[in-house]
Structure 1
Amino acid sequence: MNTKINIAGVEFKNPVMTASGTFGSGMEYSEFVDLNRLGAVVTKGVSNVPWPGNETPRVAEVYGGMLNAIGLQNPGIDVMCKRDLPFLADFDTKVIVNVCGKSISDYVEVVDRLADEKGVHMLEINVSCPNVKEGGIAFGQNPDALFEITKEIKKHARQPIIMKLSPNVTSIAEMAKAAEAAGSDAISLINTITGMKIDIYRRKFAIANKTGGMSGPAIKPVAVRMVYEASHAVKIPVIGMGGISNAEDAIEFIMAGATGVAVGAMNFHNPYATVEVVEGIEKFMKEQGIEDINDIIGCV
């Protein structure tokens, strides 16, 4: 029974990864999860300088999931290279570093810094960040901006790149095509859906930022649809995420066209979720007589 997948020449022992921002850089979850069992650890987004994040409160529970407006708080690339990457090097799992920035030069600075890090197997580029030079619209909400940033990062990156697409667009297929045309090696989707919650007793927004990114089981049908549309629009591999709670959810994404899958919000509810998904996929394959996980990618 083969659970190995290949994305842009990088081989993963299984298709299960962590979704950026829900697993730290692996250190926090290592007492619950054997990181060696995972296909990859995808780190929290890292920027060229430390980011303090948004004002609090920054997280609110909602029906079927959660809202967050953390603001990509992180200690910066220097700390990641000194602390997090050496920690992850001790494990037999692939490492994908998520990169964020407020301008193309911000992204490029991080990408250049990671070029010689042998323990980094791929880069995931978070284009849901607001482009400060273009009035704050996210790079991932305009196909021309997405094309421009993808093309520039591809010039600098030594590792294969994954463009992480925003669902807050009119056509996810158009965005997927823009990333592919600019040279992206893979795409991942979906990032969080913009939402809002109001505390009716305090008559205030539940999150200081007013809006936040919604994740969790409630967004899964939207995510599956977008993964299906994106995977049929491009030839590059797709990593699917959005509301995966168990192995059945993950398999649904794979059958929709995802080569890899990422578990996100469920890590907060169940810290063992990632390994349970790995084991559940293996159990499903045995029960269904599936010898190779690749045989069911995009089978619907």
Structure 2
Amino acid sequence: MLNIELCGVKFKNPVFLASGIMGSTGKSLLKMAKCGAGAVTTKSISLNEREGHKNPTIVELDDSLLNAIGLCSPGVDEFLEEIKEIKSYLNKMNTKLIVSIFGENEEEFKEIAKKVEHLADIIELNISCPHAKGVNKIIGQNPDLTYSICKEVKKSVKVPVFVKLTPNVTDVIEIASAANDAKIDGFTAINTVRGLAIDIKAKKPILANKFGGLSGKAIKPIGLRVVYELYENFNKPIIGVGGIFSGYDAIEYFLAGASAVQVGTAVLKDYEIFKKINKEIEEYLLEENLTLKDIVGLAHE
């Protein structure tokens, strides 16, 4: 009932692990696969080893997180060793692998994509981290940079390429249009929302980086709005992300136009969340006498 297909890739269910949560090691990715994820997404991988921000890097809020980890990465060559160790196990469980990558320019994105292509079922371009050092934080706000990076990666690899969009722009459709013009295969929406938390006793920002990316329940209405707009404007598959804690949250995303969803913050409270969400989706579809394909974009009719 929950089988789906995106760009020729078949998934056993539409509930995936989002990038940035439990995706730093092969073992953590494998654990999420065992917990029922239809696909697991790696933490974003850079070309070379990269340090993140200094502590503190995370602020816990009510069913939300504010983080400024800073896209730390061991580098693509080292991380490939992690992925190689688990790929056969993922295949046996019929769990797909989405590899998230980021770079400082077109050449870096292209080089990383070519290195990971043989292991990835989908490559996800992280052009939208709101707390990264360097140019990455502005790529997803610039249509020209978005176009050139998407175009370079698309012509370099044969696996499907999705672009992860930021909500931290005036017009997300302008950025999505640039990616669409570059023949991207699909969209992931959304990345975290730029935010700030202040310690009233210390009278200064809590995060060492001051600003961080807000995830969790607080951003679900924003994620839904972006997915809705993307569905209205483009004929490409969308993976919805942001504030998904239940099957009912996921169903909202499907109705808005998403074909699959990714779960991040909720995983930290319950590793079994994938099974729970899938069960609630199935119950809803049976109750409504509908299929998953039936409800994708249904809120637009």
Shorter-chain TM-score tier: over 0.9
Find out whether 1:45 has 2:25 as its counterpart. Answer: no
Which residue number in structure 2 is paired with residue 200 of structure 1?
A: 200
1:115-136 CA-to-partner distances (Å, cap 9, x unmatched) read 3x2x32110000015684x6x7
Equivalent residue of 2:187, what SS? strand
Which residue number in structure 2 is paired with residue 110 of structure 1?
A: 112
Between the two proteins, the alignment pairs up a number of residues equal to 293
Find out whether 1:123 has 2:123 as its counterpart. Answer: yes
What TM-score, normalized to structure 1?
A: 0.92
For residue 27 of structure 1, report the CA deviation from its aligned partner. 2.0
1:65-103 CA-to-partner distances (Å, cap 9, x unmatched) read 110011111212112221223313212211110001122
1: distance between equivalents of 2:278 and 2:30? 16
Which residue number in structure 2 is paired with residue 231 of structure 1?
A: 231
* Residue pair 1:167, 1:191 contacting (<8 A) in 2 also: yes
Equivalent residue of 1:214, what SS? strand
Q: Which amino acid aligns with 1:22?
A: I
Q: Indicate the percent of aligned positions where both proteins have the same amino acid.
A: 37
Which residue number in structure 1 is paired with residue 69 of structure 2?
A: 70
Gaps of 5+ in 1: none
Say if 1:263 and 1:48 are closer, same or farther in 2 by CA, change over 3 A.
same
For residue 229 of structure 1, report the CA deviation from its aligned partner. 0.5
Equivalent residues in 2 for 1:141-152, closer than 5 Å: 141-152=141-152
* Residue pair 1:124, 1:162 contacting (<8 A) in 2 also: yes
2: distance between equivalents of 1:147 and 1:32? 33
Say if 1:90 and 1:275 are closer, same or farther in 2 by CA, change over 3 A.
same
Which residue number in structure 2 is paired with residue 6 of structure 1?
A: 5
Find out whether 1:189 has 2:175 as its counterpart. Answer: no
Structure 1 residue corresponding to 2:99, chosen from 97, 109, 112: 97
For residue 234 of structure 1, report the CA deviation from its aligned partner. 0.7
Which residue number in structure 2 is paired with residue 258 of structure 1?
A: 258
For residue 31 of structure 1, report the CA deviation from its aligned partner. 4.8
Q: Which amino acid aligns with 1:293?
A: L
Tell me the C-alpha RMSD between the 2 structures.
1.8
2: distance between equivalents of 1:88 and 1:269? 26
1:161-211 CA-to-partner distances (Å, cap 9, x unmatched) read 000001101112222222111110001000000000010101221100000
Equivalent residue of 1:141, what SS? coil
Say if 1:26 and 1:230 are closer, same or farther in 2 by CA, change over 3 A.
farther
What TM-score, normalized to structure 2?
A: 0.92
Find out whether 1:61 has 2:51 as its counterpart. Answer: no
Q: Which amino acid aligns with 2:246?
A: N
